[in-house]
Amino acid sequence: MSGDTAEPDRYRRDMATLPWYRRLFTQTLALQLVITAVVLSVAGVIFAWRAHGTLTEQHGQRALAVAQTVAAMPAVADNVSDPNSPQLLQPLAERIRITTDLSFVVIADTNGIRRSHPNPDRIGRRVSTDPSDALSGTSAVYTQTGTLGTSVRGKVPIYGRDGDIVGLVSVGILTGTIAEAFRGELPAVLFGSALAMLLGAFGAWILARRIRSQTRGLEPADIAALSERRRAMLMGIREGVIGLDADGRINLVNPEASRLLGVDERHLGRRLAEVLPSTALESLTCDLEAVHRDVEVAIGDQTLIVNAMPVVVQEQPIGAVVTFRDRTELVGVMGELESVNHLVDALRSQAHEFSNTLHTISGLIELQRTVEALELISDHTLTHQRLTSAFEELIADPLLVGLLIAKSALATERGIDFQVDADGLAETRLRAPRELITVVGNLVDNAFDSVARPRNTGGRVTVEARRLGDALSIVVADNGSGISDDDFHRVFEPGFTTKSADTHGGIGLTLVAESVDALGGTIVVERERGTVFSVSIPNAFDTVASRP
């Protein structure tokens, strides 16, 4: 059993009429591209923020290191308190600022009065930011706004030779300068983001193609419609269907399987042999690649016809489908076929008898012996009327009467003495006449076959029907050769027959046994100068028959 590609191909043809923007491939690719762009954008913003912070921190540490170096110079410590120190300290600070590419190097005394500044006009004025931390002995990095603008600056105290704080050094880099340095790094960041976007787009394209390949080119709506259609077809099957995966575990159950076997969604994921303990069923499913057709399996008190077919997708086995069919339905069909066969046999016998009679009448008429022809017609008519009247007086059910009349005609043709005796059936109708026709018809046919010998050799078949309360007793006896010891216990097995290989048999007695069992009755086989079948059916009678 392989995957059917006709329906997916039709869906692919229908897909060609969809607008490009509604196709799964386009939507998957667009979604992946949007996700990639959003992720890269968020990552880029976070990276830029962290990079800017890191760059600012690095510049702050650099400014702090330069400030510490300047504060440690003896010339700075010795002259910072001198009002004339700007003449010495200003050139020194500017040389250091220019050499280290900083925005400013400011030296101030303990009152915060500048001794150096990039703008000479601001020398001798108090610093624009709070100097208290540095003058209290704290060395730190700050982001503050001064006369030159916002900057990252390192402030360090200046210690004199006696260890006292004699001033401070503030070294800073304007944030604008840091921003320019960061912008210089942006091309590399943008190039990396663009490369990542291209790789993401390529990956999204590969993923979209793989999804399209795995869905065999179907759109989501088509997949849903196809799945629902297949599910509806599966649920509408009158056979029980159980799907197995490659490990023999149940992955699908339809309602008919639940009805027949009691298996439902609670058993999904379990092995079939665990849910339905059956040696025959276990042997069928042990090899999921093997094909099993119409195997009769007994599960509990049911007899089912089981088929097991492997499921192959792209030349790879992925499991199996096991179907179950209730044999009761087949028995009913076979019973109807047997009834038709009985009717055909009866009609054939009557046609043969009528043909001989008509030929005789035709000859008498040609001989102009009309009296003898009329007597023959009258005698033939009276014989059938007597036979029909006799059966109708014994049995009220018309179906059973019709069967016995047909069997009488067949017995006459085959030279068999056929006798019917009934008691208690003249005023009652049978509850299940169709099943009883199967029982009586098959038993009588088997008896006829048992005594079938050349004419006038004493073949005899008797049918006795008795009403015993609400039960019906049927006894069919013959004086044939009987059943051998080897075959005695096998007569009701399906397919068993004692007939020759070129005849059809092996089903009649099986149908009898199953019909009797369906009616809740019993059947017994005895060997007494032939074969005797005794059947007892409880609650066999329905209503009182109305006689005209």
pLDDT per position as a tens digit, 530-544: 888 899 988 888 754
pTM over 0.95: no
Of the pLDDT bands very low, low, confident and very high (cuts 50, 70, 90), residue 57 is: confident
Of the pLDDT bands very low, low, confident and very high (cuts 50, 70, 90), residue 221 is: low
Of the pLDDT bands very low, low, confident and very high (cuts 50, 70, 90), residue 156 is: very high
Of the pLDDT bands very low, low, confident and very high (cuts 50, 70, 90), residue 169 is: very high
192-215 mean pLDDT: 75
Of the pLDDT bands very low, low, confident and very high (cuts 50, 70, 90), residue 546 is: very low
**Angstrom distance (rounded) from CA 272 to CA 322:** 10
Q: Write the pLDDT tens digit of every residue in 79-101.
A: 888 877 778 888 888 888 888 88
Q: Which range (160-174, 271-285, 312-326, 386-400) has the least confidence?
A: 386-400
Residue 395: which of 353, 445, 440, 346 has the closest Cα? 440
Is the pLDDT assigned to residue 363 strictly greater than 70?
yes
241-258 mean pLDDT: 84
DSSP 502: T
Burial of 253 (0-12, 13-18, 19+ CB in 10 A): buried
**Angstrom distance (rounded) from CA 531 to CA 362:** 43
164-171 mean pLDDT: 90
Residue 291: C-alpha distances to residues 251, 254, 525 (Å): 19, 21, 39
Task: Say what the pLDDT of residue 504 is.
Answer: 40
71-82 mean pLDDT: 85
Half-sphere exposure of 160 (CA within 13 A, CB side): 13
Task: Say what the pLDDT of residue 9 is.
Answer: 53
Burial of 466 (0-12, 13-18, 19+ CB in 10 A): middle
Of the pLDDT bands very low, low, confident and very high (cuts 50, 70, 90), residue 387 is: low
